[in-house]
């Protein structure tokens, strides 16, 4: 989610709420001989509010299951998720009087830290990666079709090579869709065939370390190929070049999509783990509260 | 080609090509010269069907009309019967679900007596989508004349004999006074009253008044392409469509907008009956889309029922008690029409805008790619919001500036998808969105017509187990082979309190529905987006 002007009320609200909670904590702290803790009225209240916010934040996953239900706009939920989630860190700190406590509360602290950091990382990623996708991947496709389109590219390239160079070294053509194969290919297509076998086929198959991995080197290779072939084959080179660029685009998209969603691998399961442990913590604390 | 197909179906002794002497005893050929029949050999075939045999299936292509000589046939829309199998949920869960916008629990949008037009001299109704035709009746006229797909499934109820007729012979029949009289009489007897009842100002009229109206109704025909009346003309009466299609359009500053493509059973010009006001729209007879690669054909005929204002005034003088009530209905209709008028003001659109057809969009879906995280929540919401579980939104399409224009209905100024539906199941709602009713027979014409690939044809099997089971059962009884697909289009989630689910459920404020004219006019891109979104926010009372 882009952080824009619509976040200002939420940011202000979070600051005010955080300030009020801190003021209450500071004013209440001197009253307790052993110092503030989660079992004081202030600590308990702030802890309860933090738990409520955690429940709300986790409920975002459930809302996604019924996206069109009239439970509020998803963007409003997400802003609440971000800002109230940040507020939770402060509230939990006040609730625990900024002490690590025993093993259980230490684990809770660790999870909260990881969840918060991964969430902030996700927010940061969402500020840049969608723009990168927009500007650097003009041939973007929907994620579900990405691999399929990548798989189609070698076949397309081979068909171009067959058309302009007469065939590959392999005994049988890899395609079998009834496409027409010219009986006698135009002369002068050998450089195209060599280029395909030496460079492009490996690149399209995903082999790293080839000359085409580098964009500048690739441009040079295509230019050289252009000068080596007769004019009638230039259209074929243009087609191979566009296939190469589309492959680059799709690979870039795949990388960026991984970046875009990788943080969720940490954020979501740890959030659920945090919620479960927090509930256990709350249950235990209430059960043995004296 | 149609003739080849017709004769290719001849098999055994149950079918035979009819020659001039064979047709001597057939009443509808009485006026037709033998030389004319001999001029078109092989265009009339006599066919025999056993009880239970399927004669044609809804949604299939067809090029012939059938004239029933003996026996009777059942005519029905299996798709509608299948859809009707869905159970409506009751109780507190249904109530909560409805409040939360859970579409699966929504109630049917039609009254049971709503008309489903079919290609015969009778109509089906929403509640009872089946009827019977007997000897002397014709079906398949629109398929024969306009290559329209079959609008219903026809199954022999008893052993029956019929003539299957190709277009060139059917056109000769249309010139025959005997045939015309017979068809007109059938129409007046079986469909006209239903069509008149479809006109809001006639809906609640007593039967005696309606009978008088029927007797005054004139049956007229015009060629496709003919303007029936122009915007600004003096109103002279109401028209009901008996056969064919009519385009209704209005001029606006900067363009013309198609309000609707009307089909059999629809009406237009009704306010002109009570008030000699000027026409507020242009109505033109249109042809069906040509399905076979732009083959040149003679323009199709559009048949209309006209009720002249003078005749209506005479009837009102006889029944003064209903005059005041009709005046109120007419006023309401005029108010609704005025409400629907919005201005279209776009100055000098760029070539890119024209190429993408953005100006067609009265409610264009746009995805801001700087905000979109490709999470597909919009698509999931679309699937979730529709009871058939089919997405009307595909996050693929051309880009314009930082926006993606995905495949989703644009509510075009000229919704050409509406041309040619054989059962009138595609229509425009009052808020201009395109609706495909559940009696769609899956012929796919609308999907072929849509220039932006916004109409999805989907397999019926995906429609849910309950419906599939019902259709299978229907198929097993021998009544019908199940229709395998139906069309779906973005309906702007018109019956959801939240507005379009895709926009509502986008967590990143990236999905927008905009009026293309506002979007592209002065004020810039973002102004257009903000204008539409704020209106949704106000409606829901949810600021963000």
Q: What angle do CA A138, B370, B402 make, to 5 degrees?
A: 55
Percentage of residues in chain B having pLDDT higher than 70? 75
B280 close to B248: Cβ distance less than 8 angstroms = no
What's the gap in Å between the CA of A145 and the closest CA on chain B? 11
Check CB contact of A217 with chain B, cutoff 8 Å: no
Indicate the average pLDDT of chain A.
Answer: 89
Percentage of residues in chain B having pLDDT higher than 90? 13
Residues of chain B positioned with their CB less than 8 A from the CB of A138: 399
B448-464 pLDDT, tens digit each: 889 888 998 887 654 44
Helices (H), ranges, B259-395: 271-274, 309-318, 323-340, 351-356, 377-385
Residues of chain B positioned with their CB less than 8 A from the CB of A135: none
Q: Span A248-266, mean pLDDT?
A: 94
CB contact under 8 A, B376 and A69: no
Q: Span B106-121, mean pLDDT?
A: 71
Residues 6 or more apart from B426 whose CB is under 8 A from it? B417, B418, B434, B435, B436, B437, B440, B446, B487, B489
Chain A nearest-CA residue for B386: A68
Residues 6 or more apart from B302 whose CB is under 8 A from it? B221, B222, B223, B224, B226, B241, B243, B244, B245, B246, B285, B286
* pLDDT at A119 exceeding the cut of 50: yes
CB contact under 8 A, A79 and B103: no
More confident position, B285 or B320 = B285
Per the DSSP assignment, residues forming a β-bridge with B163 are B46, B67
- The pTM of the whole model exceeds 0.80: no
Chain B nearest-CA residue for A128: B370
**Which of B120, B312, B302 has the alpha carbon at shortest distance from B217?**
B312
Residues of chain B positioned with their CB less than 8 A from the CB of A1: 371, 373, 507-509
CB contact under 8 A, A143 and B376: yes
Q: Span B240-246, mean pLDDT?
A: 85
Residue A115 has a pLDDT of 97
A68 closest CB neighbour out of B372, B381, B509? B381
B115-131 pLDDT, tens digit each: 888 888 888 887 778 88
Q: Span A62-76, mean pLDDT?
A: 88
Residues of chain A positioned with their CB less than 8 A from the CB of B506: 74-75
Pick left, alpha or beta for residue B464 (phi over 0 → left; psi -120 to 50 → alpha; otherwise beta): left
CB contact under 8 A, B100 and A134: no
Q: Span B52-71, mean pLDDT?
A: 87
Q: How many CB pairs under 8 A join A and B?
A: 94
Check CB contact of A143 with chain B, cutoff 8 Å: yes
A6-35 pLDDT, tens digit each: 999 999 999 999 999 999 999 998 888 888
What's the gap in Å between the CA of A279 and the closest CA on chain B? 27
Residue A175 has a pLDDT of 45
* pLDDT at B12 exceeding the cut of 80: no
CB contact under 8 A, B505 and A71: no
What's the gap in Å between the CA of B383 and the closest CA on chain A? 10
Least confident range of A173-177, B285-289, B348-352, B404-408: A173-177
Check CB contact of A62 with chain B, cutoff 8 Å: no
Pick left, alpha or beta for residue B389 (phi over 0 → left; psi -120 to 50 → alpha; otherwise beta): left
Percentage of residues in chain A having pLDDT higher than 90? 60
A76 closest CB neighbour out of B101, B372, B544? B544
Least confident range of A265-269, B195-199, B229-233, B461-465: B461-465
Residue B110 has a pLDDT of 64
**Which of B269, B264, B262, B284 has the alpha carbon at shortest distance from B333?**
B269
CB contact under 8 A, B396 and A67: no
* pLDDT at A176 exceeding the cut of 90: no
Helices (H), ranges, B9-90: 34-39, 78-83
Residues of chain B positioned with their CB less than 8 A from the CB of A7: none
Q: Which of A13, A57, A67 to probe by mutation at the B interface, max B CB count within 10 Å?
A: A67
* pLDDT at B84 exceeding the cut of 70: no
**Per-residue confidence at B389, pLDDT binned at 50, 70, 90?**
confident
* pLDDT at B235 exceeding the cut of 60: yes
């Amino acid at each position: 989610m882009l952080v824009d002007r619509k976040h200002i009320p939420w940011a202000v609200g979070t600051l005010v709420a955080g300030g009020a909670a801190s003021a209450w904590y500071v004013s209440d702290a001197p009253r307790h001989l052993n110092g503030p803790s989660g079992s004081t009225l202030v600590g308990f209240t702030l802890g309860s509010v933090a738990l409520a916010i955690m429940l709300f934040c986790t409920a975002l996953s459930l809302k996604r299951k019924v996206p069109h239900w009239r439970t509020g706009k998803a963007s409003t939920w997400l802003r609440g998720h971000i800002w109230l989630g940040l507020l939770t860190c402060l509230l939990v700190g006040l609730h625990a009087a900024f002490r690590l406590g025993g093993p259980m509360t230490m684990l809770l602290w660790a999870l909260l830290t990881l969840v918060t950091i991964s969430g902030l990382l996700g927010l940061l990623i969402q500020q840049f990666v969608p723009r990168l996708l927009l500007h650097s991947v003009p041939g973007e496709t929907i994620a579900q079709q990405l691999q399929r389109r990548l798989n189609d590219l070698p076949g397309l390239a081979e068909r171009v090579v067959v058309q302009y160079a007469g065939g590959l070294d392999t005994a049988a053509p890899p395609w079998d869709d009834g496409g027409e194969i010219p009986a006698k290919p135009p002369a002068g297509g050998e450089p195209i065939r060599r280029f395909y076998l030496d460079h492009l086929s490996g690149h399209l198959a995903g082999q790293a370390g080839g000359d085409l991995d580098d964009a500048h080197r690739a441009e040079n290779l295509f230019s050289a190929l252009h000068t080596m072939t007769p004019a009638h084959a230039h259209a074929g080179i243009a087609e191979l070049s566009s296939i190469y660029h589309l492959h680059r685009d799709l690979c870039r998209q795949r990388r960026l999509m991984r970046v875009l969603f990788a943080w969720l691998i940490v954020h979501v399961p740890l959030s659920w783990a945090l919620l479960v442990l927090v509930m256990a913590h709350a249950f235990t604390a209430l059960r043995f509260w004296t | 080609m149609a003739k080849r197909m017709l004769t290719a179906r001849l098999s055994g002794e149950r079918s035979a090509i009819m020659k001039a002497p064979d047709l001597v005893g057939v009443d509808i050929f009485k006026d037709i010269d033998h030389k004319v029949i001999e001029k078109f050999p092989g265009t009339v075939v006599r066919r025999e069907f056993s009880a239970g045999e399927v004669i044609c299936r809804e949604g299939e292509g067809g090029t012939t009309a059938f004239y029933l000589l003996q026996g009777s046939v059942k005519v029905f829309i299996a798709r509608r019967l299948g859809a009707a199998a869905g159970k409506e949920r009751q109780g507190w869960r249904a109530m909560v679900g409805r409040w939360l916008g859970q579409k699966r629990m929504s109630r049917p949008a039609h009254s049971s007596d709503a008309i489903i037009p079919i290609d015969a001299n009778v109509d089906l109704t929403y509640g009872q989508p089946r009827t019977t035709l007997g000897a002397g009746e014709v079906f398949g006229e629109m398929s024969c004349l306009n290559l329209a797909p079959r609008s219903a499934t026809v199954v022999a109820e008893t052993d029956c004999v019929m003539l299957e007729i190709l277009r060139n012979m059917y056109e000769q029949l249309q010139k025959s006074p005997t045939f015309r009289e017979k068809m007109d009489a059938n129409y007046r007897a079986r469909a006209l009253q239903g069509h008149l009842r479809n006109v809001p100002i006639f809906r609640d009229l007593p039967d005696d008044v309606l009978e008088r109206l029927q007797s005054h109704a004139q049956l007229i025909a015009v060629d496709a392409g003919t303007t029936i009346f122009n915007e600004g003309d003096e109103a002279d009466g109401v028209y009901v469509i008996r056969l064919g299609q009519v385009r209704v359009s209005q001029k606006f500053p900067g363009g013309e907008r198609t309000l609707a493509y009307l089909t059999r059973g629809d009406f237009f010009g009704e306010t002109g009956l009570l008030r000699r006001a000027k026409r507020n729209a242009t109505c033109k007879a249109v042809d069906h889309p040509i399905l076979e690669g732009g083959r040149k054909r003679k323009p199709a005929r559009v048949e209309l029922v006209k009720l002249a204002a003078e005749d209506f005034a005479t009837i009102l003088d006889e029944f003064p008690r209903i005059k005041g009530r009709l005046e109120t209905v007419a006023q309401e209709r005029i108010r609704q029409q005025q409400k629907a008028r919005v201005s279209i003001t776009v100055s000098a659109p760029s070539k890119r805008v024209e190429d993408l057809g953005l100006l067609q969009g009265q409610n264009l879906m746009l995805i801001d790619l700087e905000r979109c995280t490709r999470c597909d929540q919009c698509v999931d919401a679309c699937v979730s919001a529709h009871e058939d579980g089919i997405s009307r939104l595909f996050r693929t399409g051309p880009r314009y500036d930082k926006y993606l224009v995905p495949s989703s209905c644009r509510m075009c100024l000229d919704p050409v998808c509406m041309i040619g539906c054989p059962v009138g199941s595609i229509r425009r709602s009052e808020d201009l969105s395109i609706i495909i009713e559940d009696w769609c027979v899956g012929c796919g014409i609308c999907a072929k017509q849509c220039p932006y690939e916004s109409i999805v044809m989907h397999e019926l099997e995906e429609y849910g187990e309950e419906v599939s089971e019902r259709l299978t059962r229907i198929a097993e009884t021998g009544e019908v082979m199940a229709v395998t697909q139906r069309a779906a289009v973005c309906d702007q989630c018109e019956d959801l309190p939240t507005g379009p689910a895709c926009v509502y459920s986008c967590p990143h404020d990236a999905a927008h529905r905009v009026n293309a004219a506002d979007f592209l006019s002065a004020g810039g891109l973002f102004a257009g987006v903000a204008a539409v979104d704020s209106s949704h926010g106000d409606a829901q009372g949810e600021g963000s």
